[in-house]
Each structure stands twice: as structure tokens, then as C-alpha cells.
Structure 1
Amino acid sequence: MDLSELRIFGRVAELGSFTRAADQLGMAKGRVSTVVQALEAKIGARLLQRTTRSVRLTPEGELFLVRCKELLTDAEQLQGMFQLAAGEIRGRVRIDMPSMFAQELIMPHLPALLAAHPQLDLGLSTNDRQVDMVREGFDALIRIGPLPDSDMVARPLGWLAMANLASPAYLAEHGTPHTLADLAGHRLVYHAGNLRNEEAALRCLVDGAPTVVPMRSALAVNNSAFMQSACLRGLGIMQAALPTNRRLLDSGQLVEVLPAFRRAPVPVTLLLPHRRHIAPRVDMVLNWIARVTRPSLLETPAPL
């Protein structure tokens, strides 16, 4: 087998489609299928489960894809070491991150990155759901909040300061709370990963101790951008990151309430697959992300 076969297999596995892979690779679909079949024959195992509607990795294919990426990374390090030494980033990088983090902290800096590195093929997935890094072909993930147990490699980026926010229209109708007891007359718009089980509550620090104040629910959502939109429309108070809402605070579209009762800062972490090497192009993009987001993050979890 050669590297071109591994690249073709990797693209089919990443996209879950022979047709899409062929389009991106500039090859005929039949040629892509033939290469993958020949690769399966060489290693003596079926790597992809094909149906009329989808293409999925078999258990053997999942294991092979991990090793395939390691080999391609090693080859890239050898082939691109001189270009990278000159500061050039080229090739494909795919990263998944929360939507508001991408919109407010990454997007403003993207034009300069892409202008400086025209050979970079950057793919950003922006949502608040959990993804399978290997199955979906991501080079790295950015996660906000506590991390579940996993074998992924974690690189801390910093901490996000949090705040209690509301729209001027909401405060004009319901009044501005000045104490935690005042929250009895207010409603909460909150982020809930599991919409069935999580209860509405404002979480804050009181004399340094974590405190939970139950509130009346206005709306539970599983998307941070939708939560922000609901808050802007006066549906309730929300707890959200200060940096991702800074523009709206500066413009007066949102107002901070109960500043003495902020939620504890939450960690921001880069997650990498548990393998020996990271492709140089990926490492350089991750270092760029760390650099451009640093001014917006706290170095420690100490509240402001």
C-alpha cells in the first residue's frame, strides 16, 4: 500500500461517502471505490460497511483509520518540514468548537489567518453537541466546561469569565434584581444538554462557595446562540460567558445583573486524539487559536 491509498481511504471515511470523497479529490467515483477495495484486499479486512444510503467504518476500519492518520502525519512531517520552518501552513485542518466561541472569539481573526496562509484548507464545525473525533474526522475539539473521562489529550487554553445577563426590555418589564432573593420574581433562560432532566437554577459564588438558586424556567435550550437570541428578545435572564457577549454588552443590547453573584469561571480546553504525533499544520493552527483567544480568557479560575 502507498500513501495515496491511505489518503483516499481517509477521505472516504471522514466524509462517509465515495461520491463526496471523489469530488474533493478530483477523481472518478469508480476509481476511489477500486482503490479502497484493493486496500481492503491487501490488509485482509473490510474497512467500510457500504449500504445504498451510507458508508460507515467497520470496527476494523476504525482501528485502521487511527493508524492511517498517524502514518500520514509522519509523512507530512517529513515532506513539509522546510515549508513549516518558514511559517507556512498548508493542508486540511478540521476542528469542532462551540458556536458562540467560534463566532465571537475566532471569526474576527480568521480573515488574517487565511490571507496569510492561502494554502490552508480550514474546516470549522460549530455546534454545542458532543462529537466523535475519530468517526467524524476531526483533528481537534474545543470544549467549554468540565470534561468527561476519555483517553483524549487535553491542552488547557484558559478560563471564561461568566455573567448574569438580561435585555433592557426584560428588565423594564420585570425589574432589576439586586439580591438573590429578588430572583423569585424572575425567569431563567438556560443551557441544558439534556432537556429532560436539568432544572432551572442560577449558579453563583457566595463568599467563594458555589451556590444554586432555583428559578422559574422561561426556556431551556441546547444551543448557546439560541440562548443568547432568547435573552435578547426579553424572555429571561441567562448565565453566559462575558467574552462571547462583550459586543452586546458594549452596545447596550444586554445588561449585566447581580455582578456580585457571578458563576465561577469555566475551563476552555483543546482536545486532541490520543496518538503519538499531531500534524504540524494542525499544531500551528491550534497554537494560533491559543494566541488569538488568550486576551479573552482568564489565566486562572479566580473570578473577576
Structure 2
Amino acid sequence: MNQLLAIRAFARVVETGSFTRAADSLHMPKTSVSKLVDELETHLGVKLLTRTTRRVAVTSEGSMYYGQTERLVRELEDIDTSLAGSHKQPQGIVRVTLGSSLASCVVLPALPAFLDRHPGIQVELDVTDRHVDLVAENVDCAIRGGRMTDETVVARLLGMASWRTCAAPGYLARFGEPTDPADLQARHRLVNYQSARTSRVLPASFEQSGARFKLEGPASVSVNESNANLAAGLAGLGVIQNFNYVVRPYLDSGALVEVLPDWRPPPYPIHVVYPPNRHMGHRIRVFIDWLAEEFARLA
């Protein structure tokens, strides 16, 4: 038995809650993962997992064993990484989850330069606005916006994204330009933005000299994805509020016009997050450092 490989297989089953997901994350057949765990249990003389056709549960002995071996495996990987990193280029797959506008407007356009710098790294992007369980889905890191309240992850601030409120010229020709948030609420249409997780409408936010407004205007359309929000604004469906890095090319071309420039929301924090107990290889460290460089350019 390859004990280290068996321990890693067992750990992934614990972290993902499934032999199938563990096998996928390790790029191994499910039968191989099951055999490794069986051999580990036989070697130890204890039951680490209880399995039914529907679920996998960790026994008390399995929980104790995971807690002790996970730390040791991580320390061993740290030693390997420090030695290898001293004379080798980072290599391997970096799995990242992020929203669609961040992917299309920030990360993907800049990614060729990163891959030229680190040709041994392959980047897998899971582009989604849903909340991803990093451990269960074997994701190395996520780019998330807003105030960080999740204590199960480590968060590093990447930058602050500024907002713009804007509309298509055709819409403004029909409805006029709003003079303040109250006017916007009284006689204009907002493209409402719904949370992809909760389906709750997220109010448009406005701030000036300490005065703050949050409003949900009458909407002919609601969306739950930032690229769809942009498309609705370009189509003249209403006033949209989106990040500067999304709408800036369309403001420059005249396809959109900024309204209420003196009533901008406060900048929006964007973080990269990763599991606190997951080994962070050299490839992940250089990717996160590169993200920080790119997001520092956002305004």
C-alpha cells in the first residue's frame, strides 16, 4: 500500500463527502480511491468511514485521523514546494471560480501575459455567480465581491471596484436624464439586479456628501448576472448600475451615457479567498500575487 497516497485519497473523501468527487479531484478511478481507503482501514485496524448507497460519513476515529494526518501531509507538501520552488518554475493546474464580468472584463484579457510568464501553469476557470464550496468542489481559490463575513475561508483584498450608473442614449432621449436618485425613482425605469443565490433584488445604491439612498425602481426587466445587466442597459431597457471595468468601453464609445455622476456608490471590495487548511502550492501563490497586480489597476 502507498500509505501517503491512501491518506490523500481518504482526505479528499472527507473533504468532498463523496468517493466520486474525491476520485474526480484526484484524477483517479473511483474504484482505486475505494481500494486505497479499504487498504488504509485494514492497515490501521479501524473503520474510518461508514458508507451507504446514499452517503459517506466519517467515524470518530476517522475524524481524529483526518485532523492529524491532514496537518502532516500539508507540512510535507510545504517542504516539497519550498525545495522545488527554489529552482523550478511553478507547474500544475490552478482552479478558480469567479463571476462572469470579472472573467470576461478583467481576468481573461490579462491572462495571456500570466501564462507567458508561467508556461507550466494551466488555469481552469469556473465562471458562475453561484456560491461555490471550495473544499467540496476542489477549487483552489475564488474571487468574490463585497464585505467578507465567511469565517471558513481566508480572504485577501485584491482591490476596490468603482461603480457607474448609466443608460443608453435612446433611453435618455425618451425619458430624459435623472437629476437625483429621487427623480430616478419617480419617473425612470431601473434594470433590477437579483442575487444569484437568494433571488432577492439588490437595491441600487447612491451616496453624496454623507447622504445615502437605496432604491428599487419599477423594472421592465430583472437580471441575476452582470453581463445580462450590461446587455439590458445597451438595449435601452432602463438605467443600470454596474462596475466601471464593465461599462467603461461603452461609455467611451457613446453606447452608454453616465447619469448621476455625483451620486456614486462607495467602491466595492473584491477579494480572493481560499480554504485555510488547504495546502497552497507555489502555482497558487504566484496566481494570487498576479491577481493582486491586475486588480490594483481597477478604478
Q: Same-fold call, TM > 0.5?
A: yes
Q: Distance in 1 between matches of 2:39 and 2:98?
A: 36
Q: Deviations over 1:98-157 (max 9, x none)?
A: 221122111112122223323223222221111222212222222111223423222112
- 1:263 and 2:259 correspond: no
What is the Cα deviation at residue 247 of structure 1? 2.4
Cα pair distance change 1:109/1:171, threshold 3 Å = same
Cα pair distance change 1:82/1:222, threshold 3 Å = same
What is the Cα deviation at residue 291 of structure 1? 1.0
Q: What is the match of residue 100 of structure 2?
A: 99
Q: Distance in 1 between matches of 2:94 and 2:70?
A: 13
Q: What is the match of residue 237 of structure 2?
A: 235
Percent identity between matched residues is 32
In structure 1, list runs of 5 or more residues that go unmatched: 298-304
What is the Cα deviation at residue 162 of structure 1? 0.8
CA RMSD of aligned residues (A): 3.4
Cα pair distance change 1:35/1:292, threshold 3 Å = same
Q: What is the match of residue 209 of structure 2?
A: 207
1:217 maps to a residue whose letter is A
The 8 Å contact of residues 98 and 128 in structure 2, kept in 1 or not, is answered as yes
The 8 Å contact of residues 193 and 222 in structure 1, kept in 2 or not, is answered as yes
Q: TM-score, normalised by structure 2?
A: 0.81
Q: What is the match of residue 130 of structure 1?
A: 131
Q: What is the match of residue 110 of structure 2?
A: 109
Q: What is the match of residue 287 of structure 2?
A: 285
2:225 to 223, 226, 229: 223
Cα pair distance change 1:2/1:120, threshold 3 Å = farther
SS at match of 1:188: coil
Q: What is the match of residue 161 of structure 2?
A: 160
What is the Cα deviation at residue 198 of structure 1? 3.9
The 8 Å contact of residues 66 and 134 in structure 1, kept in 2 or not, is answered as no
Q: TM-score, normalised by structure 1?
A: 0.80
Q: Distance in 1 between matches of 2:18 and 2:274?
A: 21
Q: What is the match of residue 187 of structure 1?
A: 189
Q: What is the match of residue 151 of structure 2?
A: 150
The 8 Å contact of residues 99 and 224 in structure 1, kept in 2 or not, is answered as yes
Cα pair distance change 1:201/1:10, threshold 3 Å = same
Written as runs of structure 1 = structure 2, the 5 A alignment for 1:32-71 is 32-42=33-43, 44-47=46-49, 49=51, 51=53, 58-59=57-58, 70-71=71-72
Q: How many residues are treated as equivalent by the alignment? A: 293
Bigger drift between 15-24 and 178-187 goes to 15-24
Q: Deviations over 1:179-234 (max 9, x none)?
A: 33431221111322278774574310032232223411233322222222222222
Q: Distance in 1 between matches of 2:253 and 2:64?
A: 50
The 8 Å contact of residues 195 and 222 in structure 1, kept in 2 or not, is answered as no
Q: Distance in 1 between matches of 2:131 and 2:271?
A: 14
1:235 maps to a residue whose letter is L
Q: What is the match of residue 89 of structure 2?
A: 88
What is the Cα deviation at residue 271 of structure 1? 1.7
What is the Cα deviation at residue 70 of structure 1? 4.8
What is the Cα deviation at residue 21 of structure 1? 3.6
What is the Cα deviation at residue 72 of structure 1? 4.4
Q: Distance in 2 between matches of 1:232 and 1:50?
A: 52
Q: Distance in 2 between matches of 1:259 and 1:177?
A: 11
Cα pair distance change 1:221/1:214, threshold 3 Å = closer
Cα pair distance change 1:134/1:170, threshold 3 Å = same
Q: Distance in 1 between matches of 2:64 and 2:264?
A: 45
